[in-house]
């Protein structure tokens, strides 16, 4: 039975423990039971999670250092699962005082007055996590609190009496977890305030010393470069952070695809079934890998995993739009749909000077093309694709767009010798639906274009590649200019 009064709580034999001990105890139990520790956090099993476990076992305050979109905030929020499901509190106390060890004067006098008959309340663990994004305008009042002179005057109290205190975020995280994102953005003065509360359990507000023996697990995130930059973090605060844990982007395309399919909203049973071919998922993922390695993209700010997540959502939507317009029973995204995801890509990275000159949209187009080339090479390693290229060399050309119905794509390309066989190899085998076959055909054409075996332009679609390499290079430039000139056109000619 859950105790309802202070007396029942005392009889239950329940002992208060500091929050770091509570989290440690629960972690130890999970480790003994061989439970999965951070469900939904993918690709960190051998790197981040062991370090995190060690920090928690050591009862450290810790900081996650990493670039944007590396699941830092998500990891911090997952710590809630390591708290007890609920803890007893003094009802109405703003800082969730422990009935067995109250901090504030109001609770102490309430307990003295009511004794064992005092009713207690239970606080669920979700309410014990306080999160704050650090910005330069955060004040001591926001973080620690302020003195309320009116409250003091009305109650006839001295200003330094804690009853006159209006609590900030940190005291409200008492007995819980306090997470500060982007710690280096916090002004030095506020860092000093935090440090004082952590170290001494007291703080000065407007010159009045206030005592607050708070019990919190402090966790932080920061961009590694900001964190190590001299003067960004005051040394005593850095000293109090027991562990620095580096996060990273997924190290394999396989991990990255698992994260994206977990996070992206593509399971849209409300309209049509959306069937995303593996090569489309791979291309979307590869864009982020290419961007992270591209010298035109700023390495210090990184390329968020949200890029492939939101891109895949737009890719699915573009396929839905086409399927709905053409009355098709299933939406199968094509590689060409990735260009419709440009609005989700261009904002997800910062450009270096060279990239600025080229423009975000063109950089993104280049990334898509090299991503397609990379994935295509993987699928068609050692496969002869010459017959298809020859069809274009003999003067064949195709005019397709991302709105072309599946049946139309198949009809237009049926004379291209060898194309259907390659499409089968990409996954559209016997019995595949028309939208799947059309998608596979599109993948082959975009792949050959990425490998420069055929060319494509917005006006003339897919056509033969130029034979002489030097001329081909010039042609390339010209195509790029055409793409810049007519960004609205979605028609593509392959030949
Ligand atoms: Zn209290």
Spacing, Cα 1 to ligand 1 middle (Å): 25
Hey, how many other C-beta atoms are within 10 angstroms of the C-beta on 341? Answer: 25
Spacing, Cα 12 to ligand 1 middle (Å): 22
For residues 245 and 232, what is the distance between their CA atoms, to the nearest angstrom?
18
Measuring CA to CA, which residue among 37, 35, 81, 44 is closest to residue 64? 44
For residues 147 and 99, what is the distance between their CA atoms, to the nearest angstrom?
25
* Residues 325-354: tens digit of each pLDDT: 999 999 999 999 999 999 999 988 889 988
For residues 344 and 337, what is the distance between their CA atoms, to the nearest angstrom?
12
Spacing, Cα 95 to ligand 1 middle (Å): 6
Higher-confidence residue: 244 or 161?
A: 244
Does pLDDT of 467 surpass 90?
A: no
The pLDDT of residue 231 is 79
Spacing, Cα 109 to ligand 1 middle (Å): 9
* Residues 182-230: tens digit of each pLDDT: 999 999 888 988 888 778 777 677 777 777 788 999 999 999 988 988 7
- Side-chain-side CA neighbours of 26 within 13 Å: the count stands at 17
Measuring CA to CA, which residue among 342, 337, 484 is closest to residue 409? 337
**Segment 50-70 mean pLDDT:** 96
R_g (Cα) of the chain, nearest Å: 30
Helices marked H in 156-268: 169-172, 188-200, 224-228, 235-240, 253-263
In angstroms, how far is CA 330 from the centroid of its own chain?
A: 29
The pLDDT of residue 465 is 85
Spacing, Cα 110 to ligand 1 middle (Å): 9
Spacing, Cα 84 to ligand 1 middle (Å): 20
The two beta strands, 121-124 and 454-457, are unpaired
Does pLDDT of 474 surpass 80?
A: no
- Residue holding tokens 């996590």? 129
Spacing, Cα 24 to ligand 1 middle (Å): 25
Q: Are 294 and 363 in contact (CB under 8 A)?
A: yes
For residues 111 and 118, what is the distance between their CA atoms, to the nearest angstrom?
7
The burial of 404, by beta-carbon neighbours within 10 Å (0-12 exposed, 13-18 middle, 19 or more buried), is given as: buried
Ion ligand 1 — residues with CB under 5 Å? 93, 97, 104, 107
pTM of the predicted protein model: 0.84
Spacing, Cα 111 to ligand 1 middle (Å): 10
The pLDDT of residue 53 is 98
The burial of 299, by beta-carbon neighbours within 10 Å (0-12 exposed, 13-18 middle, 19 or more buried), is given as: middle
Does pLDDT of 238 surpass 60?
A: yes
- Residue holding tokens 């049946």? 407
Spacing, Cα 163 to ligand 1 middle (Å): 10
Spacing, Cα 116 to ligand 1 middle (Å): 16
Lowest-confidence segment of 95-104, 198-207, 325-334, 437-446 by average pLDDT: 198-207
The pLDDT of residue 163 is 60
Does pLDDT of 468 surpass 50?
A: no
Farthest CA pair distance, the chain: 97
Q: Are 175 and 215 in contact (CB under 8 A)?
A: yes
Q: What percent of the chain has pLDDT over 70?
A: 91
Measuring CA to CA, which residue among 99, 132, 123, 106 is closest to residue 176? 123
Q: What percent of the chain has pLDDT over 90?
A: 66
- Side-chain-side CA neighbours of 181 within 13 Å: the count stands at 15
* Residues 239-290: tens digit of each pLDDT: 889 999 999 999 999 999 999 999 999 988 888 999 999 999 999 999 999 9
Does pLDDT of 166 surpass 90?
A: no
Spacing, Cα 152 to ligand 1 middle (Å): 17
**Segment 77-84 mean pLDDT:** 97
């Amino acid at each position: 039975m859950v105790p309802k009064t202070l007396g029942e709580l005392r009889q239950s034999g329940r002992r208060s423990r500091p929050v770091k001990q509570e989290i440690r105890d629960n972690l130890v139990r999970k480790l003994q039971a061989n439970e999965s520790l951070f469900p939904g956090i993918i690709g960190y099993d051998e790197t981040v999670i062991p370090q995190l476990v060690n920090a928690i076992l050591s009862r450290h305050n810790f900081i996650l250092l990493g670039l944007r979109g590396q699941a830092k905030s998500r990891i911090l929020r997952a710590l809630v699962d390591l708290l007890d499901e609920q803890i007893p509190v003094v009802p109405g106390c703003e800082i969730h005082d422990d009935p067995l060890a109250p901090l504030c004067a109001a609770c102490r006098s309430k307990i003295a007055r009511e004794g064992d008959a005092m009713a207690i309340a239970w606080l669920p663990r979700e309410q014990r996590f306080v999160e704050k994004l650090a910005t330069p305008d955060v004040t001591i009042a926001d973080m620690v609190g302020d003195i309320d002179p009116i409250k003091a005057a009305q109650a006839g109290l001295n200003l330094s009496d804690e009853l006159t205190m209006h609590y900030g975020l940190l005291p409200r995280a008492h007995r819980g977890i306090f997470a500060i994102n982007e710690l280096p953005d916090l002004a030095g003065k506020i860092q000093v305030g935090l440090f004082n509360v952590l170290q001494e359990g007291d703080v000065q507000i407007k010159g009045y010393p206030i005592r607050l023996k708070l019990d919190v697990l402090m966790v932080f995130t920061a961009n590694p470069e900001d964190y190590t930059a001299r003067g960004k973090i005051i040394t005593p605060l850095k000293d109090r952070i027991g562990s620095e844990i580096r996060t990273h982007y997924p190290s394999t395309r396989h991990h990255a695809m698992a994260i994206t399919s977990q996070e992206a909203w593509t399971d849209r049973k409300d309209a049509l079934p959306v069937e995303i071919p593996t090569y489309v998922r791979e291309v979307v993922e590869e864009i982020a890998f290419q961007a992270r390695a591209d010298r035109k993209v700023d390495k210090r700010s990184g390329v968020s995993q949200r890029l492939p997540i939101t891109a895949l959502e737009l890719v699915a939507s573009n396929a839905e739009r086409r399927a709905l317009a053409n009355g098709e029973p299933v939406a199968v995204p094509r590689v060409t749909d990735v260009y419709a995801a440009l609005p989700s890509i261009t904002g997800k990275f910062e450009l270096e000077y060279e990239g600025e000159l080229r423009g975000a949209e063109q950089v993104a187009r280049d990334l898509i093309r090299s991503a397609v080339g990379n994935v295509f090479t993987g699928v068609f390693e050692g496969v002869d694709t010459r017959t298809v290229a020859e069809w274009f060399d003999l003067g064949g050309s195709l005019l397709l767009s991302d709105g072309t119905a599946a049946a139309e794509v198949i009809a237009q390309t049926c004379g291209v010798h060898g194309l259907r066989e390659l499409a089968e190899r990409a996954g559209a085998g016997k019995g595949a639906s028309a939208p799947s076959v059309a998608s596979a055909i599109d993948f082959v054409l975009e792949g050959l274009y990425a490998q420069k075996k055929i060319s494509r332009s917005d006006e003339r679609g897919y056509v033969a590649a130029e034979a002489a390499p030097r001329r081909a290079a010039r042609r390339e430039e010209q195509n790029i200019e055409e793409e810049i000139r007519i960004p609205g056109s979605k028609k593509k000619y392959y030949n």
